Homo-oligomer: A and B are copies of this chain.
């Protein structure tokens, strides 16, 4: 992979046969790889070539080899605003883990219940990079960025009622965060969020 990080294979829009071919090549080259956005058929194709790959169906991710590298650099804390944001948050967490960071997950701390965010302040402030996955109003990264000194990687999710427009609403919220220090990535792009956080928290 580029710069010592695992290669990423974006499975959506590829056939299982194409993914199997890529997995076989990964095995033959002895490369390290993450397969993202893997539906059931993609997962089966990967496991056919790399039977001991780690598969996390919630995150729709497979990693090979299954052991992540020993952690180095700073800590990454991943926050899911609500239960519905968990798949994206887990994708971020696993990505950062396989890029070599120590990671912690925090769930269900949305803006409507500030005390729950405030209760996790110490953990949040221990991070070298914080990832926040949120849908609907996408307001949580603004709040977290106001509480911590580290960069906040904000990943909007496509969760919400009609006027969320598939993640557009939280995306705009995050781009307009009134606290500085918010780095925005694409809608539902947990892989990108985890990758960016791992780069930020990389050893100097």
> Contact between B74 and A204 (Cβ–Cβ < 8 Å)?
yes
**Does A147 interact with chain B (Cβ within 8 Å)?**
yes
Does A169 lie within 8 Å of B175, measured CB to CB? yes
Specify the chain B residue showing the minimal Cβ separation from A8: B180
B175 touches A163 (CB 8 A): yes
Chain A interface residue count, CB cutoff 8 Å, equals 74
Q: Contacts of A65 on B, CB cut-off 8 Å?
A: none
The answer on a CB contact under 8 Å between B161 and A188 is yes
Q: Is the CB of A189 within 8 A of B204?
A: no
Q: Are A172's CB and B172's CB within 8 A?
A: yes
Q: Are A172 and B173 in contact (CB under 8 A)?
A: yes
Cross-interface CB contact of A188 among B146, B162, B177, B179, cutoff 8 Å: B162
> Does A145 reach chain B (CB closer than 8 Å)?
yes
A189 to chain B, nearest CB (A): 5
Among A83, A137, A196, residue most surrounded by chain B Cβ atoms (within 10 Å): A137
Task: Name A's B-contacting residues (CB within 8 A).
Answer: 2-3, 8, 10, 12-14, 18, 74, 81-84, 110-114, 118, 128, 136-139, 142-143, 145-147, 149-151, 153, 156, 158-189, 191-192, 195-196, 199-200, 202, 204
